[in-house]
Structure 1
Amino acid sequence: MPSLPLKVQVSIRDHWAKEDGPLQTTLKGLQELLGHEVHIEPEWHLLITALDEFYPDKANFVVVVTGCVQAWAKSLTELLDDSANEEWTEKVLDKIKYGRLRLFLEVSASNSASSSWSEQRNGFIVSLPKEKVIQPAELFPVFRGKLLTSFEDDKKPHLARRGAADASVGLGAADEWADVEMDAKTGKPQVVEQPSNLSAPAKPKVEFLPSAASLPRPDELFLRPPYHLSLFPGHAEIQIHCSHSPSLKLLAEYLERWCRINHHDTTEPPAVQVVLCQSAFGLGEVFDKLVLSTKETRYTTKFQVTTPMIVAMVEGVLGYELVSTQGTWSFRRDTEFKIL
């Protein structure tokens, strides 16, 4: 990891980490109210890279980020302290695991600040606007509104289950596997019907090697095709590696939704553990590996992880094409997912 400029290090010490400074004082108050630790470790070098053009003075950049996080923490504190939000407060407390509320800093794809809850990362995500912020305190009402709607997605079903009536009709054209559309900005998937007679446009050949500085962040770059997916089959574990994070996220959400409970184990865990792995590159919620495994106990033989269902989803739902089965199953998709 590249070292931070001296001015940034000094500003982090004097503004972000200062024990009696405004931010740490606000965070301490939030921790006392929650009864849980608030944990946040900014990826400073990635944030600076993403917002470099807007903050020539890197010391001021740290001051702005500190102010934005303080505005977010104040918003959360006031919401939790308001008895009118009792039901919402219970949801926040239910989401906290291992006695720690986690907070992640990202950069928005637009000039708007935002806040959301991530089930995969088990924490709140604060998205800084992709522009220069003059008064971080002005983001207070924005964060407040976004915090109140953080858990609304919990009420929405991601994928509808096919009913008995649909199953009895037979497999006509309307009953075939649907395709998937993705929002290139948010990476959120949606299953839709897509005509099968559309051909992919020709992809231009790369003639010149670009500079690293000219390329977008990995969480934006890899939303472009071609998408590559590798399947590593096994008896007790299957690994799926993919360059397209939303594809993995959809697979994980679907499999978790329909996974049985292992009642042969007294702790009643899921029959298959579904684990999304955060990528080491980029700034944001980027996944590059999905691991499906069975718990190693004497009841392991009751459930196994098999590949045909995964292959059917990769090809039939996500539209990837099989390239090779030499040890590792390799898939590729050249057509870009549509923007919703």
Structure 2
Amino acid sequence: MFKYALSILLLAFCQLSSAQKRSFEKDQKNYVNVGVETIKKLNKTSPLVLSEERVSLLKTIETYSDPYSDVPFKEYLKKSEEEAEELEHKEPILYAYRAAFEKVLKEVKHTKVKKGTASVWMLYNMGFVIKTPSGCFGIDVDHRLAEQLAPYLDFLYITHNHGDHANLKLMAAMKQLGKPVITNFDIDNAPYFSTVATGYKIGNFTLQTDISDHLRSPDLPNFVAVVRIDCGDDTGNFSILHCGDSGFDPQRFQEVQGPVDVVVLRWGAARENEILGAGDGQVQTNYALLSHLIEMRHKPYPKGQASITQTLKHLPHVACKNTIMPFWGEMLTWENGVLK
């Protein structure tokens, strides 16, 4: 009976997603929105090549976000589905936000991951989805429509209890489907809750956490649970370290130290380099992904937001051979020790 009910629920999720996508794409033709062409052009560039065109497009997107950050974005998130979708059709930055979700949802559903590889999507802010030949998981996934990803994720990891990292609707949807949601704050969610460094094994995935402060704030000394995830033999042993909004203090990374294929940093600020190296509490990697770009609950830079302009200034100084700045909705593929 439970399996039957679960199947019905999964089908409902799929039908809702498909209906919304068809409607959104069709209805967009009835609106004038300069963001549509900007995103089309950006999607033709590669996050691996920071060309002049790509930089120009990213800076254009930043001009879309500044007027809509903080209060207007929070108000948008509270609106009904119909009102929110209307704004997504009209406002360039909200079109970019919605288009990213549609792209990730479609690709997660339909991408067939070859043995020895892994697919990595950046959805929004520090939210990533990783799909392997044997599973799929999310880290800090947040979006207005995030719960629609629940049927396609095997587990969800959340680094800390802030709204731009912990999406309550997605958490609830995952739990309703009987899937693990791993946190350091959801007290009633044993065995997937711990406030100390902890290891987990889910399918082919091996997780190890460590506990950090939040951006070195004395008010939040043990607030963030950074995580290293080793994805198993069928990915060529791909591994990823997600730092969340940690303080990047090597003393707080000793349980996740050592070689790792990809590290998710924030926006490449100088102190983020402190965990990159060969010492205690440091990691060795050839790939650093910058994130937290123009998260719109925050006020525009310098009052809280990680701006694209400032992140571009940080990028050359990150102590990593390949520092990449993906944008919302973009996918990278890990194969033979290389991100493509």
- Asked which structure has the greater CA Rg, the reply is 1
Question: Above 0.5 in TM-score?
Answer: no
Provide TM-score, normalisation by structure 2. Answer: 0.25
Q: Identify which of structures 1 and 2 has the higher relative contact order when contacts are C-alpha pairs closer than 8 Å and 6+ apart.
A: 2
